[in-house]
A and B are shown apart, each in its own frame.
Chain A
């Protein structure tokens, strides 16, 4: 399962409050990603990291920030949560197989913004 955990697994928060989601990996992978999944959209990339303190924006980064101060942890922050950020959030890592990279996903965090 690539040793990926996410916390919390479920969260309900109010509009305007800050929220931080945590992704933790145990296998020292360099690349990490945050996605959100909404009905009819598959998964969309929010932010990604290619090393400690090295991050960049994905397709749907507005309203989100990330930090990676240690290889094993990748944090996603919603500075001021909005109802449009109600979603299921997945963290992923990329592992090199020898011929290609493959992404493996955590179990997800279900976030509801009321």
Chain B
């Protein structure tokens, strides 16, 4: 069974702080996707990383794919209350772009 371990499970921080979320696996993924989910809604795609060692930036969010394509991180600089939500990583494996999801990181940013 393939697993994607995501940590931490919960994060409660003050506005302006930095944070990093990690996803780790023993499996190699063809790509890795990060999603953000609000209560009562479906996950919304933030970014897809494909190449080992790839770094992508989305405003204050920086995503990195490990060299071996087994792990990834999401770093948020100067977090804002609007960043509050559930962050999910998902690795693409096997055929048909099936995704394996991490359990999620619930982030709360307090003003």
Contacts and interface: CB of A to CB of B under 8 A. Distances in A.
A99 B31 CA distance: 10
Q: How large is the interface on A (under 10, 10 to 19, 20 to 34, 35 or more residues)?
A: 20 to 34
Contacts of A94: 96-97
B41 A108 contact: yes
Interface residues of B, number: 24
B96 to A, nearest CB: 5
Interface string A69-96: 0000000000000000000001000100
B74 to A, nearest CB: 15
Mostly, the A contact residues are: strand
Contacts of B50: 99-100
Nearest to A50: B96
Interface string B28-47: 00110101000011111100
B104 to A, nearest CB: 5
Contacts of B103: 40-42
Given A100-B31, A100-B48, A100-B50, A43 B43 contact: yes
Nearest to A108: B42
Contacts of A106: 42
Interface in B81-100: 88, 90, 92, 96-99
A-B CB proximity, top 10 nearest: A42-B101, A105-B42, A101-B97, A43-B101, A94-B97, A100-B31, A42-B103, A100-B50, A105-B43, A107-B42
Interface of A: 31, 33, 35, 40-45, 48, 50, 56, 58, 90, 94, 97, 99-108
10 contacts: A35-B101, A42-B104, A45-B98, A56-B96, A90-B42, A100-B48, A101-B31, A103-B90, A105-B35, A107-B42
Interface of B: 6, 30-31, 33, 35, 40-45, 48, 50, 88, 90, 92, 96-99, 101-104
